[in-house]
Each structure stands twice: as structure tokens, then as C-alpha cells.
Structure 1
């Protein structure tokens, strides 16, 4: 995005004061260790874009070779990101939930892999530069981890957290 661009990457809710929605958002923010609801709204907007693209592809004539190729590329991208499973189709994209997108964040994947005790601690380790993906330091907790990169998550070799006896590391962490 060019400098000075004022475009938001997410949409806020249409009805700002709905108790049930606010409670559900608060639960997701807490469960996934998000900094604020803006991060949740970004994930919801990303999911909305996936669904919009799937509806567009479903609405076009499937016999057209270009549409078939576009569909394959779109599904391959979602499979590579780990949002869909092998063999899933466009109908499965419409059934996705925001948690499917949140589960692929670096922060969540690092927590699930055992690099941190909590999602908040995983976020701190990432922001402070202790976590690498494929040997490259990544400091964005919202980074989407591809399935192929998942096994390459580790602590940075220069990080004090590489020491097994570091007090912030839990028993059995990698």
C-alpha cells in the first residue's frame, strides 16, 4: 500500500452496540490473544473476501477453462494457507468460520506448537523477535503461516529462549 493511503483493511460492524456480538468478539479476542477487536475485524474481512471470491467463481459458467483454472488456483491458495483441507471445494469456502482464519496466524500456530505458554506470551515472543519461520525472523503476530512453513517454526538462534532452562519456557517446549 503506498504511503499516505487512507484505506482501512477491515470493516467495522454495522450495529456497534449489540451485546451478543460484543460478547462473542470479546471471547475470540481473549481466546486468540488478539491486541484489539481491529485484528478480529481484519480476519473477518479476509474471510469475507474469500467468500466473495468463492461466490463469484460459483456464479460463473464452470465449463469455461479460464474459470476452472481460476477456481483451482483459488482453492490451491487456501489449501496452501491451511484454511481448507485437500479435496475441499468452493462450497466449503462458504462454510468457513472466522476461527479458521485466526488459527493460521503465527501467534496461534506458535502457541499450538508449544513455543509459548499462552497466546499472549506467543505474541510477545514474536513481537520481540524471538520466533523465526523458515529461518527468517518474523515480528508480525498476524503473519499467515502456510502449511509447509509450520514445521519450520522455531526460536531465533540468537534468542535467549533457545536455552532449554530459560525461565519463560515451559516444560517440554521445543
Structure 2
């Protein structure tokens, strides 16, 4: 039980801690997406679990207005495409959530050579989203913000010839 004023966990740990197949899958995702630890993966899994839970709840209701709002929110953050509906939320994978992290988007746009370097650039304050410096690698990037990701103009990394960007400009 948490004390008043203390935060509680935003994720659930696995029920069975020692399953070789699950551990190897988690390790693969942690290395592929450059996560700091498995806790970040478990947070993404919990977020996906909450999306699915909400979709099941909305599918059971007859009112469609709140379902449309939920789908439009998922489309805005890029987890769902514009053609997908509430039924498609149930078929989402944890990689769909991990692909929307700022760390992954910075790497995919070619601002960093590796996902680890993308994480370092973000946490050191070299990356801006819509002109605002963001230092959280787990920041969820909305579709409208994707084109507005750049290096901070006060950063040394704005120079194309910076050694840390050796392979990024190719």
C-alpha cells in the first residue's frame, strides 16, 4: 500500500518471473527499441492493456460517441491508422506503442545513428518537438508533431559536421 502523496507503479510485472521464452522476447524488445530496462517495456505493455480494456468496454456499449473519441485519440497519437476502427484496437501489439516513443521516432527520422544515441540526445536536451525541448525518451509523439522534431538551435548538434552525427547525415 502506498503512502499518501506517493506515486504508485504505472505498470504490472509478469505473473511468472522465470519463463525463458518471455524473457528472451523482452530482452529482444529492450535492445531493439533501446529501452533503459524492462520496466519501460512493462509500462508500454500496461498502456496497451489499458487500450484493449477500454476498447472491450466500448464495444459492449451501444453508445458510439465515446468510442469514436477513443479511436480518434489513438489515431492522433499514431497507434491506429486512419482506416482502422475500434475492433482493430484488440489486435494491436506492444511494438505499435513502442514505435510512437520519441526515442524511436528520432532514430527512425535519422537524427541519430542508433536508438541508444537517440535516447542520449533526448535526455541531454538536444531534441525539440514543436520548438519545445523534450527530455523524456518515453514521450509519445503525435502524428501532427512528427515533422516538427529537430535539433535544438542552441545545441552543438545542429552542425552537420558534428562528430556525433557522423553517419546521421548520409
* TM-score (ref. length: structure 1): 0.93
C-alpha distance in 2, partners of 1:170/1:74?
Answer: 42
Structure 1 unaligned segments of length 5 or more: list them: 62-66
1:172 to 1:35, Cα distance in 2 relative to 1, 3 A: closer
Structure 2 unaligned segments of length 5 or more: list them: none
Kept after mapping to 2: 8 A contact 1:32/1:108: yes
- 2:166 matched residue in structure 1: 170
- Shift of residue 172 of structure 1? 5.2
SS at match of 1:154: strand
1:46 to 1:36, Cα distance in 2 relative to 1, 3 A: same
Kept after mapping to 1: 8 A contact 2:113/2:167: no
- Can you list the C-alpha shifts for 1:70-110, whole angstroms capped at 9, x where unaligned? 01100000000000001211110000000000000000000
- Shift of residue 157 of structure 1? 0.3
Tell me which of 108, 112, 118 is aligned to 1:112: 108
* 1:82 is aligned to 2:78: yes
- Shift of residue 137 of structure 1? 0.1
- 2:117 matched residue in structure 1: 121
C-alpha distance in 2, partners of 1:146/1:23?
Answer: 30
- 1:52 matched residue in structure 2: 53
C-alpha distance in 1, partners of 2:39/2:141?
Answer: 20
- Can you list the C-alpha shifts for 1:45-72, whole angstroms capped at 9, x where unaligned? 00000000000000112xxxxx211011
C-alpha distance in 2, partners of 1:141/1:172?
Answer: 19
Tell me which of 146, 153, 158 is aligned to 1:157: 153
Q: Give the number of aligned pairs.
A: 167
* TM-score (ref. length: structure 2): 0.95
Kept after mapping to 2: 8 A contact 1:81/1:147: yes
- Can you list the C-alpha shifts for 1:121-163, whole angstroms capped at 9, x where unaligned? 0000000000000000000000000000000000000000001
